[in-house]
């Protein structure tokens, strides 16, 4: 699962970098399906970062990687 998550992040990353942000994978809990990431750069403190995380990153991750249930951001 972790390999698929990393590949999906590589697909998502250019869109975040285009706005001055980035994403760092912290953990993949295969038992619960929770993926932990850190949004960095311009994403830190951005009012739209929660929307980006849930409606963008989490949705794409759940569509592309079997078993992912949630994506959470840690700082």
pLDDT at 15: 93
pTM of the model: 0.93
**Residue 67 reports pLDDT greater than 90:** yes
Q: Where are the domains of the chain?
A: 2-73
Look at domain 2-73 and name its CATH class: alpha beta
Strand (E) or helix (H) holding 5: helix 2-18
Alpha-carbon distance 35 to 38, whole Å? 10
Residue-wise pLDDT for 9-41, tens only, equals 999 999 999 999 999 999 999 999 999 999 999
pLDDT at 22: 96
Here the tokens at position 9 are 């992040």
């Amino acid at each position: 699962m972790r390999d698929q998550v990393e590949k999906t992040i590589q697909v998502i990353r250019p869109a975040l970098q285009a706005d001055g942000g980035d994403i760092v994978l912290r953990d993949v809990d295969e038992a619960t399906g929770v993926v932990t990431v850190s949004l960095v750069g311009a994403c830190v403190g951005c009012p739209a970062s929660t929307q980006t995380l849930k409606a963008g990153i989490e949705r794409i991750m759940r569509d592309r990687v079997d078993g992912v249930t949630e994506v959470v951001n840690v700082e």
